[in-house]
């Protein structure tokens, strides 16, 4: 899997969380997605961080994403939320 598939997976989870799908990993009520504060774990950045660190069958997205690509991944996901929420 590459960076684009990681971005797609994070965005898919964001969609599930926002729309309240049953197979979501996290609850939207725990976050303020309007907040763009990078230091606030209840902001959109905190949501993305928690998605990246969420483990399914012992596998986390963060484990396969290169550190130099994280800024780009966050930027793409935040832009997606800005345009679609």
- pLDDT of 1 > 70? The answer is no
Whether pTM > 0.75 for this model: the answer is yes
Q: What is the pLDDT of residues 31-81, one digit of tens each?
A: 998 998 999 999 999 999 999 999 888 899 999 999 999 999 999 999 999
Q: Write down the pLDDT at residue 32.
A: 93
Among the listed residues 56, 19, 37, the one whose alpha carbon sits nearest the alpha carbon of residue 48: 37
CA dihedral 19, 21, 26, 32 (to 10 degrees): 10
Sign of CA dihedral 62, 46, 73, 54: positive
């Amino acid at each position: 899997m590459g960076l684009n598939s990681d971005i797609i997976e994070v965005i898919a989870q964001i969609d599930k969380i926002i729309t309240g799908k049953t197979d979501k990993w996290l609850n939207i009520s725990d976050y303020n997605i309007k907040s763009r504060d990078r230091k606030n774990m209840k902001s959109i950045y905190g949501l993305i961080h928690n998605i990246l660190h969420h483990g399914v069958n012992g596998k986390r997205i963060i484990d396969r994403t290169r550190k130099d690509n994280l800024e780009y991944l966050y930027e793409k996901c935040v832009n997606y939320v800005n345009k679609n929420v």
